[in-house]
Amino acid sequence: MRLAILFLVMATAPALRAQTPQSAAPAGNAENGKKIFTGYGCYQCHNYAAHGGGAGPRLAPRPIPFQAFTRQVRKPSNEMRPYTANVVSDKELPEIYAFLLTIPEQPAASSIPLPKP
C-alpha cells in the first residue's frame, strides 16, 4: 500500500510542478490590473499589496493558479461575494492576475532595522 502511494506521488509530482500560476494564466496588463483591483475595492479586504487583511486572505505573492483564482472570484468558497462576468469581465480577470504576479515577497522581519531609542 505504501509503495503504491509513493509511486502515485512520484508519478504526479512533475505534473504538479508544471502547473505554475504563470503558465496557466492568459496574458494580462499588470498596470491595468492594479487599477481594476483598486477600482473594484479588492484592497478593502485583501489590502493594497494583496497580502491579506482582516476580512480577506493573502492573494500575493505566489497567487493560486489562474483557474482556481477565476473559480474563487466567480463562485467563492468562503465569505467573499461572487463577482459574475457582468461585474468583473473575463477580460479583466487576467489583468488582475497579472498585477498579483508582480507583487514581491514581503521583507523578512529580521531584515527590517529597529528604530533607535
Q: Which residues contact 29 (CB under 8 A, 6 or more apart)?
A: 95, 98
From the number of C-beta atoms within 10 Å of its C-beta (0-12, 13-18, 19+), residue 13 rates as exposed
pLDDT above 80 (res 11): no
CB 66 within 8 A of CB 25: yes
pLDDT-derived band at 12 (thresholds 50, 70, 90) equals: very low
pLDDT band at residue 30, thresholds of 50, 70 and 90?
very high
